[in-house]
Amino acid sequence: MSMSGAGPSQPANIENSSGIMLIDPHNPHAPPEEPHNITEQEVGEYREQDRYLPVRIHQAPLRILPLSTPWSVQIANVARIMKAAIPENAKIAKDAKECLQECVSELISFITSEAAEKCFMEKRKTIGGEDILYAMTSLGFDDYEATLKIYLAKLRQHQAAAAQGVHPPDEDHHSHDDEESTRQVERPPLRPAMNTSRAFPKVLRPLSLAQCRRMATQAPGPSGVGFALSEEQAGIQDLARKFTRENIVPVAAQYDRSMQYPWPIIKKAHGVGLLNTHIPEEYGGPGLGLVECALISEGGPAVEIVIVFSFINSPELAYGCTGIQTAIEANGLAQAPLIVAASEEIKKKYLGRMTEAPLVAAYGVTEPGAGSDVANISTKAVKKGDKWILNGTKMWITNAGHANWFFVLARTDSSQPASRGMTGFVVDADSPGISLGKKEINMGQRCSDTRMVTFEDVEVPEENVIGAPGEGFKIAMKAFDITRPLVASAAVGLAQRALEEATQYAQTRKTMGVPIIQHQAVAFMLADMAIQTEAARALVWKAAWSKDAGHRNTLYASMAKTLASRTAVENANLAVQVFGGAGFNTEYPVEKLFRDSKIFELYEGTSQIQRLIISRTLSSLYPGA
């Protein structure tokens, strides 16, 4: 990425025994000040004067990060050029100054924030330029850089036009008074355009594939958008892809026919770290974000596409069998409420045990009379002494027959609406009073275990309440914000598998002397499948990224689930159509994909419920007059 103007070489910096580095951002080439211990008063002065960027790396002393990092050098250089050129046009000057001031303010706020402190503390090392670069780009500082470049280009254009006695196009003419005031301002001449390949750090040039992989998915690229994977994320994909190819694909049809619960595969998944990806590190889990979990759930192409950043997806769990994937990922749905709201003791007890042994849990919300209408739940919990007595029936509970514990949502106050009258509990599966129904024989995902669960006077300790009494409904909904993108990613995995199977078959099956892929009717079906798969994948990533970035993602989660579910069903249907009569036969995998796909439009909120959530959110986003 190039920029006009002269660029400074990397300014020197020094570090004294107390770990303080100093440099003047307004004069990066000047010799650094003598190192000394920084007082709190001086920190305030530095902030006020906009001279230094202090951050507390350790309890004491303070470390002053130098502006010799790639982004800081970039911004400081543009700032100097802007200050020299700003008098050229009053209107541009005003906008540029505001942008520059906001940029500097945001920069200081970031470097001195608790979030940055925590980030740097975790690294436990001297922060390098690339660390700052990645952190700042994730907060959108490339937008500032791009905006400043535009302003600078406009100013240069105006200067060149003024030298020729004409006004530049698309710019407001400034007044004679502005021109007079401009003439009175002494400014140094603008430097000639620089050779950007040498003047700026190499991380600001077009990125290689290896560099792309080092950047987190949520970190935007030069355009403000990024689909790159970090090395860790790429490694997770490779692990899940290999696991799926070796352990799931060869036996998927067998498990579908036998309808046996895939315990051997679940145990292997636990052994390689793919079973409890949601659990934070402090409770023994890997602590992966939603983006990483979505990479595990999804199945994607095994090719690399490099545009600005590389966008890489590999076949994962759902690509091999969504029934097995559901058995594995249902753990995440049960764990989510605990991660969101449980006490530390409960997290350590119930999440910790799942990392120590291959255990599964179940999410008990749906009832015979309360599916999409969660507010109609009739299971009740009554407080008696230091315990709660639980009575009711849950239906279509995944992993119920093998669960070590349940998350159960029950009504605790009938006088209150659902949002304040329900409470979440974690209930040990071996508690007296719990009885299981038969394993349901479903249309698809047949190796997944779904059953009815009945609770009769089941005693639940007070400490097993998740959150506070009355907060259960909100907690359950927050859990869906975490898990719906993962369900959507699994749907994308199935859609990708259907696309690949259909495309490969269309190249080998011949009619009228040519492969059927050469017939436009078939080719267009494949094209539509590819378009919808990529669109769904992008929306899934947006929903996962939004949650990982700390934003509320309810809207995007519902959008992603709706589109991905529909894409899975349509792709599976089209795959059968491409296969023709062979697609109706169990010898080929597409009939299983067709059966497995339908559940995505039903569980964790039907597509109609998702559209209701979306439409209500739109009403609040765009209120009428």
Mean pLDDT of 248-270: 93
Task: Give me the phi and psi of 369, to 5 degrees please.
Answer: -110, 10
pLDDT tens column, 502-542: 999 999 999 999 999 999 999 999 999 999 999 999 998 88
- 604 annotated active-site: yes
Label residues 52-67 b or e (16+ Cβ within 10 Å = b).
bbbbbbeeebbbbbbb
Residue 437 has pLDDT above 90, yes or no: yes
- 354-470 shares its CATH topology with 480-621: no
Q: What is the DSSP string of 581-607?
A: GGGGSTTSTHHHHHHHHGGGGTTTS-H
Mean pLDDT of 108-133: 46
pLDDT tens column, 371-388: 888 888 999 999 999 999
Terminal-residue alpha carbon distance, the chain: 44
Of 540, 416, 514, 428, which Cα lies nearest the Cα of 470? Answer: 416
CA–centroid distance for 142 within its chain? 19
Residue 182 has pLDDT above 90, yes or no: no
Q: 117-126, 354-363, 574-583, 603-612 — which one is most confidently predicted on average? A: 574-583
pLDDT tens column, 139-177: 444 444 555 555 555 555 665 666 666 554 444 443 333
What pLDDT is attached to residue 558?
A: 94
Instruction: pLDDT band for 96, please (50, 70, 90 cuts).
Output: low
Residue 524: CB partners within 8 Å, gap ≥ 6?
Answer: none
Peptide bond between residue 61 and the one before it cis (omega within 30 degrees of 0): yes
Of 456, 445, 446, which Cα lies nearest the Cα of 493? Answer: 445
Give the C-alpha distances (Å, rounded to integers) separating 96 from 34, 141, 145.
Answer: 34, 15, 11
- What tokens does 205 get? 């040039």
Residue 392 has pLDDT above 80, yes or no: yes
What pLDDT is attached to residue 103?
A: 56
- A 10 A CB-CB count for 11 gives 20
What pLDDT is attached to residue 90?
A: 56
Token look-up 């710019």 returns 171
Mean pLDDT of 121-137: 43
Q: Tell me if 67 sits within 8 A of 11, measured CB to CB.
A: yes
Residue 441 has pLDDT above 80, yes or no: yes
Mean pLDDT of 182-193: 29
Percent of the chain's residues with pLDDT above 70: 58
The H helix count followed by the E strand count for the chain is: 23, 14
CA–centroid distance for 147 within its chain? 26
Q: How many CA atoms lie within 13 A of 232 on its CB side?
A: 10
Q: For the chain, what is the mean pLDDT?
A: 71
Alpha helices in 462-519 (DSSP H): 472-508
Q: Which of 30-39, 219-228, 387-396 has the lowest mean pLDDT?
A: 30-39
Residue 209 has pLDDT above 50, yes or no: no
pLDDT tens column, 464-512: 999 999 999 999 988 888 888 889 999 999 999 999 999 999 999 999 9
What pLDDT is attached to residue 227?
A: 66
The amino acid at 442: N
Domain 480-621 architecture: Up-down Bundle (1.20)
Rounded-to-integer distance, Cα 407 and Cα 429, Å: 10
The amino acid at 163: A
Computed from CA positions of residues 145, 148, 152, 157, in that sequence, does the dihedral angle turn out positive or negative?
positive
What pLDDT is attached to residue 446?
A: 96
pTM summary value: 0.62
Q: Does 295 or 578 have the greater pLDDT score?
A: 578
Q: Does 610 or 297 have the greater pLDDT score?
A: 610
What pLDDT is attached to residue 199?
A: 25
Catalytic residue among 298, 471, 534, 604: 604
What pLDDT is attached to residue 289?
A: 56
Token look-up 């040519």 returns 514
Q: 36-45, 287-296, 478-487 — which one is most confidently predicted on average? A: 478-487
What pLDDT is attached to residue 609?
A: 92
Computed from CA positions of residues 554, 555, 561, 564, in that sequence, does the dihedral angle turn out positive or negative?
negative
What pLDDT is attached to residue 528?
A: 97
Instruction: pLDDT band for 11, please (50, 70, 90 cuts).
Output: very low
Locate the domains of the chain by residue range.
Answer: 40-205, 354-470, 480-621
pLDDT tens column, 332-361: 889 989 988 999 999 999 999 998 889 999
Residue 422 has pLDDT above 50, yes or no: yes
What pLDDT is attached to residue 245?
A: 86
pLDDT tens column, 303-337: 222 222 222 233 378 899 999 999 988 888 899 89
Rounded-to-integer distance, Cα 322 and Cα 342, Å: 29
Superfamily assignment of 354-470 in CATH?
Butyryl-CoA Dehydrogenase, subunit A, domain 2 (2.40.110.10)
Q: Does 271 or 58 have the greater pLDDT score?
A: 271
